[in-house]
Amino acid sequence: MFSTGKYNNQHHNRHGEEEIRSRIGLAYLFLYYLLQFCGHTWIFANMSARFLSFGSDALAGTFYFVGVMMSLCQLLSILELFHIADGLENCRLLPRFVQVMERNLILFLIINQEEFQSRTIVCVLFFLWNVSGLLRYPCELLRLISTPAPSLLWARYTLSVPVYGLSVIAEGISVLQALPYYESQGNSSEQLHVPVSVYVNFPYLLMAYLPLLALGAGITFRILLQERRQSLVSMNKKTKRE
């Protein structure tokens, strides 16, 4: 009797701890998605207002006006890898890892160079990354509260595929445009201060990155199409039940 009661108490306590942990995780995810949604909404509103006001002249100043917010959003997206590893998000790790690392490498290795920030490709990249975030984060935010509308799910899983493809093309163009800059500025080689001196040739590094970008994009494309197919099948089943 005593041992049975002790076991029940331990089971009850364990269940209570798991429930508390689950609620904390949901609250954290809600706050994270809300921050990302607000950040991307601010970026979209700022870019749209400046383009409507100044036209093509607004393209050169994109990084100056929204670069800090975009950098913050992309840095925060690294947390999503830990979300998946910890089980907070039920997503595949590989495509998210590829997308997060692609954007952060391009942003901090290329776009952060002052001479590169006024180029049109920066505005194109920011716009595509922003659209991708606006397709994803509202859907994830609503998923925590209730079931998102079928039209929202369709937009997220359908439009995100061509948007990702265009962003990969823009990232490749940005790498090609950065090659002459590194060569002309004499930054082709840098010494990294690690226990063993290592010289990094940035043009070679960027050229080696291009096939990796293509390979990662191909794998991610395949997984995105699989997710879209599964989502459409799930929506069709729910529609037939109703």
The H-or-E segment that residue 54 falls in is helix 2-54
Structure tokens given for 17: 């701890």
- Residue 43 C-beta-side C-alpha neighbours within 13 Å: 30
Q: Please tell me which residue in 164, 181, 190, 242 is annotated as part of the active site.
A: 164
* Known active-site residue 33: no
Strand partners, 189: 201
Go through 64-88 and write b for each residue having 16 or more CB atoms within 10 A of its CB, e for each that does not: eebbebbbebbeebeebeebbeeeb
* Known active-site residue 115: no
Q: Please tell me which residue in 171, 181, 183, 209 is annotated as part of the active site.
A: 171
Q: Give the list of residues 6+ apart from residue 132 with CB closer than 8 angstroms, or none.
A: 160, 163, 164, 167
Residue 130 exposed, middle or buried by CB count within 10 Å (0-12, 13-18, 19+): buried
Q: Are 98 and 81 in contact (CB under 8 A)?
A: no
Q: At what angle do helices 120-145 and 62-76 cross, to 10 degrees?
A: 40
Closest CA to 36 of 84, 81, 74: 74
Active-site residue list: 164, 171
